[in-house]
Structure 1
Amino acid sequence: MDEFSGLAALVTGGASGIGLATARWLSARGAHVAVLDRDTEGLPDPLAGFVADVTDDAAVRAAVEAAADRLGGLDILVNNAGVGAVGTVEDNDDVEWARVLDVNVTGLVRVSRAALPHLRESAYAAIVNTCSIAGHAGLPQRALYSATKGAVQALTLAMAADHVGEGIRVNCVNPGTVDTPWVRRLLAATDDPDATLAALEARQPHGRLVSADEVASAIAYLAGPNSGSTTGTVLAVDGGMHGLRLPPRD
């Protein structure tokens, strides 16, 4: 329970969903944790909130510096901030493509770039990016979102290669469909939320949505000192969706 004792972690998009679950998980295991989000009202103690939009480079740099100053440095960065998008390539215009790419891909770059000088000072430096099953499985109505998550997966491997010599490990998690407020909002907007939920559960071999805590525990594993020889890894947390091919259920 004290694997992260004395370590400092920054979690983007940490005010809800997977990010909040991760921040709480790390904190409960001894880490000093800062959350970077557009709105940090209501964060539970002892999480420290810093407001920034990952599309604003100046705000990101200021928030990362403030977080590092508050925590006494940075050992762990969890790049979790992101937005969704629904539709085929015909359904989103250039403005929406630019917006989602700016948040999900370039936003990750901005935060990593600001954090790297601090991570280089750590003996336990780790970056974990939140990717998605959509990064390597073709999902209907997710063209734009999938493009960004494919980029995040490729970027993770490139970053791992670039920074392994500096002692900075870079990995990513690829969750399946996770039971988060964002997914619940998507369900509520459908014509038949119950049927849509049942279909999402059925496409994951273990027959249910992934929990945010399950993803958080995977992130914590990749971020922790006990995984010091793990870098450039893509860890699926999807109930077997990526690798298993099961016969249809009766």
Structure 2
Amino acid sequence: MFSLNNKKAVITGGGSGIGRAIATLFAKQGAEVHILDLSIESAQEALADIQKAGGKVFSYACNVTNQKEVLATFEKIGNIDILVNNAGIANVGKVDTTSETDFDRVMEVNVKGVYNCLFAAIPQLRLSNGGVIVNMCSIAAWVGLPDRFAYSTAKGAVMAMTLSVAKDYMGENIRCNSISPARVHTPFVDGFISKNYPGKEAEMFEKLSQSQPIGRMGKPDEIASLALFLCSDEAGFITGCDYPIDGGFIKLNN
């Protein structure tokens, strides 16, 4: 079950964290994986590890906010079967403490970046007579995280785009779903804590871990396993859905 043999998958932000876990698992399950990342160093590190494990993988430096760059990269890759829109950034701030610059930056990556990749991917999915899209959303779209105004706003847009794409392309055999993780322990999280809470790293890590009722952060491999299911033929009856993977955050955090 859950084989991706003869499938070609594009994963944005695939050089680290959740994206890297997805790229690694998809390659293990037989997919030809194409990693897009802003950092070519990260992408090549992921590529080397996947190749060492026997996977078929390619990497590209690509800024998802630049539509010409995204289109050129997708045209180079050619027909695809799977797109995972994983690239994203975070920002701390309420509406009155979020600068216009920070707001625009989050929208550029987390909303326009997803749009650019969808725009570029649809023609390549048509060449394969359909396929699957998974957008990385967030529990922020469900609950509006405190002090994360721009991020919550952007992820709400991603959830809406997921529904729109699912409806618009259902007749072309293109499925589209999204995944909404709670906090997941990645190098991104470690860097985020170090940057925003200097000197209080251990305290903040524990606080963020305990904010999930299950008592810990998620693991990248756990998110990757859900992405694998949604992109597999076994999930062929699923489209237009968002899947919280949150350690009980939405339903049990009373």
TM tier relative to shorter chain: over 0.9
SS at match of 2:95: coil
Aligned to 1:114: 120
Q: 2:67 aligns with which of 57, 73, 79?
A: 57
Aligned to 2:38: 38
RMSD: 1.4
Query: Which deviations, in whole Å up to 9, do the C-alpha atoms of 1:188-239 show, x marking residues without a partner?
Result: 2314112211111111111101001111111111111110000011011111
* Residues 1-250 of structure 1 aligned to structure 2 (within 5 Å): 3-41=3-41, 42=45, 43-44=47-48, 45=51, 46-68=56-78, 73-123=79-129, 125-189=131-195, 190=197, 191-245=199-253
The Cα of 1:47 is off from its aligned counterpart by 2.1
8 Å CA contact 1:2, 1:30 repeated in 2 = no
8 Å CA contact 2:2, 2:232 repeated in 1 = no
The Cα of 1:2 is off from its aligned counterpart by 6.5
The Cα of 1:25 is off from its aligned counterpart by 0.6
For structure 1, which segment, 96-105 or 7-16, has the greater mean C-alpha deviation from structure 2 after superposition? 96-105
Structure 2 unaligned spans of 5+: none
Query: Which deviations, in whole Å up to 9, do the C-alpha atoms of 1:48-96 show, x marking residues without a partner?
Result: 001110111110001111122xxxx200000011111111112222122
8 Å CA contact 1:50, 1:67 repeated in 2 = no
Structure 1 unaligned spans of 5+: none
TM-score, scaled relative to structure 1: 0.93
The Cα of 1:245 is off from its aligned counterpart by 4.2
**Structure 1 counterpart of 2:232, one-letter code:** G
**Structure 2 counterpart of 1:66, one-letter code:** K
Separation in 2, partners of 1:11, 1:178: 18
8 Å CA contact 1:205, 1:239 repeated in 2 = yes
Separation in 2, partners of 1:63, 1:240: 38
Q: Which has the higher helix share?
A: 2
8 Å CA contact 2:138, 2:155 repeated in 1 = yes
Separation in 1, partners of 2:98, 2:125: 37
**Structure 2 counterpart of 1:113, one-letter code:** F
Separation in 2, partners of 1:225, 1:8: 14
Separation in 1, partners of 2:186, 2:31: 24
**Structure 2 counterpart of 1:116, one-letter code:** I
TM-score, scaled relative to structure 2: 0.91
Separation in 2, partners of 1:206, 1:193: 21
SS at match of 2:203: helix
SS at match of 1:243: helix
Separation in 1, partners of 2:147, 2:253: 22
The Cα of 1:123 is off from its aligned counterpart by 4.5
8 Å CA contact 1:132, 1:173 repeated in 2 = yes
